[in-house]
Amino acid sequence: MNILCVSHTPDLKGSAISLSELMKGMDRSLFVPIAAFSKDGPLIPTLKESGIGTHVVKRRGVLRIGTIREALEVIDRDRIDLVHLNSAVSFSKYFGIAARWRGLPVVWHVREDPDGKRVRSLKKWICFLSTRIIVLTTQQERIFQAGGKVIKVYNGVDTGRFQPNANGAGFRERFDLPEDAFVFGIVGSIEENKGTLNFLKASQLLREIDGEVRFVVVGSGLSEDIRLVREFVNSDSSLASRTVFTGKLAEMPEVMCGLDVLVVASRWESFPRVILESMACGKPAIAPAVGEIPMIIEAGKTGFLIPDNSVPALREAMLRCLRERNGLPEMGKAALEKARREFTIEAHVRKVEEIYRQVLNLGGRPLQFNSERFL
């Protein structure tokens, strides 16, 4: 069966990486993944190396009629049997329309804030076009449960790639991070929702800490967002001397192993894969208790939960890490064990494949719309 996996972005972002890992892990004796993106980007070469066909379908035409027409051409040419839409974005909607036009089932993977603009604007389309809706959180599940199509499936991490023995020392050497420094890092897009500025403001308040402490920002963003955070850092010479901006990096296992603690400072997240990656590398994380994060982090055992992404909450958690640094290796070990036990990419892929089988009537166990069995 040919599965068309649609993502608006081929960039190194959480949602697109999650879809890429799903495609790479599919049982090729049952499912042949084919990818469609709205533009060229770094994920496309890696998919091609894995033997996965790719298409770039640009947004075009009045009311995006041109996009829908090209989506129909891809569906027909590749003899698609099912369309998997990644994220609640308009680009997904056009492929959903094309799929339904051809009478094909649609699995829509919703990863966004259920109270955010994207989900609110597309909710009716998602409910109308989808055969099944995959969500990551209980909050998302409630938004779509009326239609009886929703299933909760947690993200997974490649524990073969993300391991504690990755070259963290090489990462530190590359960015002049002292071997004995305590390193906090934030990983992801530089933007308001990700809380990059809050992380740096909390970091600024740690100026009186004894010993070497460093703060690393891994990722990129819009030029205006980058300018704002850099201006803030450069306004304080002490903070500037201890802060490193790496830009986008592909070597994420090395990054995670080079940190002492990952900091997630987002206003909202569904099921952030960066936490899973950190755990799989044996590193604890600080994160707000939003979305399904409390299901990932066991407070005080595998990481640190904070009430929100406010500067005081972040600062207090970072101070606690410094005070309790001798206990962090044991916490990282517990995080590693949980990642390997509960959040492998293999388990994630099998659960999604089970949904495909049921939607395509390929047999298997009857599908029960009780999300607990998919966790």
Check if the beta carbon of residue 302 is closer than 8 Å to that of residue 287: no
- What pLDDT digit, counting tens, does each position of 99-112 carry? 999 999 999 999 99
pLDDT of 189 above 60: yes
User: How far is 279 from 332, CA to CA, in rounded Å?
Assistant: 7
- Output the pLDDT for position 211: 77
Secondary element (H or E) of residue 135: strand 132-135
Half-sphere exposure of 143 (CA within 13 A, CB side): 24
- Distance of alpha carbon 82 from alpha carbon 53, whole angstroms: 15
State the Cα–Cα distance between residues 130 and 107, nearest whole angstrom: 6
Residue 375 pLDDT > 70 = no
Convert the pLDDT of each residue in 195-228 to its tens digit. 999 999 999 999 877 779 999 999 999 999 999 9
Distance between CA atoms of residues 126 and 288, nearest Å: 28
d(CA 112, CA 90): 13
Q: Counting beta carbons within 10 angstroms of the beta carbon of residue 100, is it exposed (0 to 12), middle (13 to 18) or buried (19 or more)? A: middle
**pLDDT tens across 19-73, in order?**
999 999 999 999 999 999 999 999 999 999 999 999 999 987 666 899 999 999 9
* 250 vs 373, higher pLDDT: 250
Residue 316 burial (CB < 10 Å; 0-12/13-18/19+)? middle
Quick: pLDDT tens for 309-352: 999 999 999 999 999 999 999 999 999 999 999 999 999 999 99
Rounded to an integer, the average pLDDT of 236-251 is 95
Dist CA 155 CA 18 (whole Å)? 7
Average pLDDT (175-186) is: 97
pLDDT at 145 over 80: yes
Interval 73-98: pLDDT, tens: 999 999 999 999 999 999 999 999 99
**% the chain with pLDDT above 90:** 90
For residue 370, pLDDT beyond 50: no
Q: Does the global pTM surpass 0.85?
A: yes
pLDDT in the model for residue 194: 96
Domains detected in the chain: 2-156+344-374 (3.40.50.2000), 168-342 (3.40.50.2000)
- What are the beta bridge partners of residue 132? 107
What average pLDDT does the structure give for the chain? 94
Helix (H, G, I), strand (E, B) or coil at 259: coil
pLDDT at 146: 75
Rounded CA separation 257/334 (Å): 15
The CA-atom distances, in angstroms, between 193 and each of 111, 113, 116, 290, 291 are 14, 11, 11, 13, 14
